[in-house]
Each structure stands twice: as C-alpha cells, then as structure tokens.
Amino acid sequence: MRFAVNVLGGALLALACAGPAAAQLGFERPGSDYLSFTVQSGDPAVCAARCERDGRCRAWSFAYPHTRNVPATCWLKNKVMPRSKDDCCVSGVRGAGVIEPRRGHIEFSIDRHGGDYRSFDTAADPAGTPCKSVCETERHCRAWTYVRPGYVSGAARCYLKSKIPRPRRKPCCISGVVR
C-alpha cells in the first residue's frame, strides 16, 4: 500500500513539474465533435479558451482558414481523440493553451507590418520557409512576413521588408528577421 501511494505521489509530482500543457501545432483530433463554430479572428487561442469555459469539452481542434470564403473553424470534442498529423490545424486537450513553437529566428503568430518592398503569392508551408528562403537571397531584405492562406487571399502570401518593423501578435502570420 505504501509503495502504491509513493508511486502515485511521484506521478503527480512529475505532472506538476512538467509545466503547462501545450497545444499541438500541425495536428488535428478527428471525431467526437459536439460543437463547431467559426472563429472570425482566425486565432486558435479563441478555440482553446472556449473549451476551457465549456464543462463538456475534453479536447478541441482548430483549422486555419482555407480561403477567404472558408473561415477558421473550431471543433469542441467530448472525448480526447488520438491526434493525427495535419498542417491545417492546431489541436489540444482541455487545459492546453496555444503556445507557438520556437524554431530559431522564426516568429510564429507575429506580423511585422510595414516596410514592404515586394510581395508575392507563395507555396503554403506551416513554417513560412519559402518566404524566409527568398528573403535570405535578396540583398535588400532585412525581414519577412508570411501570411497563411485564407487570411489575405486563398493563397499564402510573402512580404519582404527593407526595414525591420516592430513585431505584432497576429495568428495569420509567421515572420523573421534576416539581417
């Protein structure tokens, strides 16, 4: 009995020290939906917060907008379903806030508005890599912002900047500073 209590206590301590749970960018949790709604702001944090306020919610999935006519959508789930890889989405369980990944100098959910000298449609990419790559090859480019498909148009869009604008939190965007 004492052994079981020690094991349980150790497990609870490990969970407490693990830090806050984070949502999984690039995954969805198909099935067990009991409610879906449009997220006008396009921010996955709205979906996570709605799950927290709803006693039935055990997990959630958020899909970024596909086009300007297909808005961002949140699905609340009454069971924690297994996650599956899908770049369209962010998912989490109740208690999992949206924490953007940190990948070197790539800034997730950051817009660096202004200072554009060129913009163009680009391939959709969950990390904005095509936009970053072009900026790195152009002498005038100091920073870049990649806008996910569905926020400005149906295509992903890249903005190259001749100066380094101040970062602003916006779920539409991925940015970075090159030089």
CB 108 within 8 A of CB 101: yes
pLDDT at 126 (0 to 100):
85
Give residue 8's pLDDT band: very low, low, confident or very high (50, 70, 90).
very low
Angle (nearest 5°) at CA 126 between 51 and 118: 125
Residue 169, Cβ neighbours under 10 Å: how many? 13
What is the pTM (predicted TM-score) of this model?
0.73
pLDDT at 25 (0 to 100):
82
Q: Which domains does the chain have, with CATH numbers?
A: 20-93 (3.50.4.10), 102-177 (3.50.4.10)
What digits encode the pLDDT tens for the residues 33-52?
A: 999 999 998 999 899 999 99
Mean pLDDT of 87-102: 79
Closest CA to 28 of 71, 59, 69, 7: 59
- Determine the Cα–Cα distance for residues 106 and 76; give it in Å rounded to an integer: 29
- Determine the Cα–Cα distance for residues 108 and 100; give it in Å rounded to an integer: 6
